[in-house]
Amino acid sequence: MQKQSLPSNYNPSPDLLKGKTILVTGAGDGIGRSAALAYAAHGATVVLLGRTVEKLEAVYDEIESAQGAQPAIFPLDLASATESDCNSLRDAIEKELGTLDGLLHNASVLGERRPIESATYASWQEVMQVNVNAQFLLTRAMLPLLNEAPTASIVFTSSGVGRTGRAFWGAYAVSKFATEGFMQVLADELENISNTRVNSLNPGATNTAMRRSAYPAEKPTSNPSPDAIMPAYLYLMGEDSAGITGQSFDAQ
């Protein structure tokens, strides 16, 4: 797989996402929280999706106090999300906001870090449900709206272990390979029939709750903060990446 890098010294315009509506999953914490704040700071109306309402409300408040466009909150636990939940969200976005220009699939769970031989099926299913199946349901629901936008961007979140398999990363790694595959299939499908581009982004080691839980012995500050990797998230969501599709990017 050929990996892509950002243009060097990428410097997004302050108005990069002005007038755009962007849905961010897992927007209450970690990288998703930073992406929601960065998108709002660059002019977007952000739809905040996540499972912990208090965290989404805190992000909402941060956007409001920074004078960003009024965001929307959509509480949804992707472990139990149904077709009907995803279709309701699409209908609500269409009714309240009129358009959808971007979708950042960011929410994921780590699951168990253990050999396949002793992995539990319950954890395997939860990881596949949140990291893969819910992405499918949300993507399918949102595609009609995204395809109506003048140009739209879907960004899938990958991982190093979704590009090269590694022992003991189990369902999480398999789910990230599935994510890369999903990105490629969808990008190929849409390339000649819509203005929606589809790419994947590996954030790389980033100081979040997930990273701290995967590497408890590591000094958290040895990795960049989520805010530090936002240029890649802005580049792929804004018009500077127009025409680029089906590519796997690294944020670091």
Residue 78 binds ligand NAP (CB under 6 A) = yes
- Closer CB to ligand NAP, 85 or 101, in the complex: 85
Instruction: State the catalytic residue, choosing from 39, 172, 233, 235.
Output: 172
Element (H, E) at 197: strand 196-202
- Closer CB to ligand NAP, 191 or 218, in the complex: 218
22 phi/psi in degrees, rounded to 5? -130, 130
Residue 68 binds ligand NAP (CB under 6 A) = no
List residues bridging with 194 in a β-sheet. Answer: none
| Least distance between ligand NAP and beta carbon 196 (Å) | 20
Helices (H), 70-228: 83-96, 121-128, 134-148, 170-190, 209-214
Q: Is 172 a catalytic residue?
A: yes
Cα 6 from Cα 250, distance rounded (Å): 8
- Closer CB to ligand NAP, 42 or 55, in the complex: 55
* Segment contacting ligand NAP by CB under 6 A, of 75-83, 115-123, 143-151, 192-200: 75-83
Element (H, E) at 84: helix 83-96
- Closer CB to ligand NAP, 145 or 210, in the complex: 210
103 phi/psi in degrees, rounded to 5? -140, 115
Contacts (CB under 6 A) with ligand NAP, residues 159-218: 159, 202-203, 205-206, 208-211
Among 59, 52, 92, 103, which residue's Cα sits nearest to residue 233? 103
- Closer CB to ligand NAP, 171 or 210, in the complex: 210
Among 157, 184, 200, 245, the residue binding ligand NAP under the rule CB under 6 A is 157
Cα 24 from Cα 12, distance rounded (Å): 19
- Closer CB to ligand NAP, 28 or 71, in the complex: 28
Among 127, 116, 125, 113, which residue's Cα sits nearest to residue 175? 127
Residue 26 binds ligand NAP (CB under 6 A) = yes
- The letter for the amino acid at 199 is N
- Annotate each residue in 86-125 with x if it binds ligand NAP (CB under 6 A) or - if it does not, as one string: --------------------xxxx----------------
DSSP state of 241: G
Which residues have a Cβ under 8 Å from the Cβ of 56 and sit 6 or more positions away? 27, 28, 48, 49, 50, 73, 75
Cα 146 from Cα 153, distance rounded (Å): 8
Binding residues with ligand NAP: total (CB under 6 A) = 28
Contact 37, 63 (CB under 8 A): yes
Among 12, 30, 68, 170, the residue binding ligand NAP under the rule CB under 6 A is 30
| Least distance between ligand NAP and beta carbon 105 (Å) | 8
Q: Annotated catalytic sites, by residue?
A: 172
Residues that bind ligand NAP (CB under 6 A): 26, 28-32, 50-52, 55, 77-79, 106-109, 130, 157, 159, 202-203, 205-206, 208-211
